[in-house]
Amino acid sequence: MNRQKPKLAVHKFSSCDGCQLALLNLGEPLLQLPDLVDIVHFAEAGPCESDAEVDISLVEGSISTPEDVRRIRQVRENSRFLVALGVCATYGGLQALANFNDRDAWMSAIYPQPQRIDILPTSKGVSDYVKVDLQLQGCPVNSAQVLNALRDLLSGMKPSVAIQSVCLECKRNGVACVLVSKGEPCMGPVTLAGCGALCPANGRGCYGCYGPSELVNDASLAHRFEALGLDPQAVTRRFRFIANNAAAFKAAGDRLEGDPHER
């Protein structure tokens, strides 16, 4: 048992810190974690050794600045496994909505000295810049899912992430479909499972924070949303929301925005 514990780092990029908070909210398992790994960097929790070489890096946040690009390349180089945590790290997050707008115009309108802000023209996920070994979705991530993935990595197993719709989790939890029974425009049918169908369990429609599930029939769901009374713009915004930069949702948004009547 003299073997050194594997080293873990939690890095933050452009994000709200919510995924790190989800980890800090774990409770008891959080206290167990230091028995299994040596947490060398997790600025929000204390340890601060950002340049350390580690076995596993959990990365929160999107790549939105030139400094983010430099740093994520360094993190990649320092890490054996790199796990993208949450919708910002996987798809660019809510801030990727700026990709669809004139950044310079917005910056001039908001900041007195926009020239002092050094950002990229786009906000994108980590995998647009470096190789990512595992993507865990969500806004925020489901911390139980993160722990399972960590456990698998520590055991030398490939973490398994179920590729299915939120609907299946929802039905397994005994929730009556909110789209069918309440007319809620729910994104569950086109959204990847993993959250435990949190929103439908609370009577709300899924807003797609896990990003697209495997097969996305956006035209059919958009048609249904319109029948429920959403105007074309509101339908587009369902896809162009937190996971707007995920390929299937981005394509859906483009189609819906381009030609709202051609479907």
Partner 1 sequence: MARDGAIQFAEMTSVEQLSPGLTNEQQPGRYRLRQGDGDRLFDWNHGPQGVKPHCFSPREVLWSEQGEPLRFQPRLPAQAPIALVGVRACDLAALSIQDKHFLHADAPDPHYRQRREQLLLIGVDCAHSAETCFCVSTGDGPALDGGYDIGISELDEGFLLWPGSDKGQTITDRLALQPADDRQLESMLRISTQAAEEQQRSLPQPAELRRLYRRLEHSHWQDVADRCLACGNCTAVCPTCFCYDTGHEMSLDGENAQMVRQWDSCFSAGHSYMAGLLVRANVLQRYRQWLTHKLAGWQEQQGRTGCTGCGRCISWCPVGIDLTQEAAAILREGSVDV
CA separation for the pair 111, 50 (Å, rounded) = 30
Comparison of 127 and 148: residue with beta carbon closer to partner 1: 148
Rounded to a whole number, what is the distance in angstroms from the first to the last CA of the chain? 63
Stretch that binds partner 1, among 27-35, 39-47, 52-60, 84-92 (CB under 8 A): 27-35
Q: Is 96 helix (H, G, I), strand (E, B) or coil?
A: helix
Comparison of 45 and 162: residue with beta carbon closer to partner 1: 162
Comparison of 70 and 204: residue with beta carbon closer to partner 1: 204
Contact letters for partner 1, residues 121-160 (x by CB under 8 A): --------------------------xx-xxx-xx----x
Per CB under 8 A, contacts with partner 1 among 163-222 are 163-165, 167-168, 171-177, 179-183, 186, 188-190, 203, 213-215, 217, 219-221
* Count of residues touching partner 1 (by CB under 8 A): 45
CA separation for the pair 87, 243 (Å, rounded) = 6
Tokens 């896809």: give the residue: 239
Comparison of 132 and 178: residue with beta carbon closer to partner 1: 178
Q: Per rule CB under 8 A, is residue 233 in the interface with partner 1?
A: no
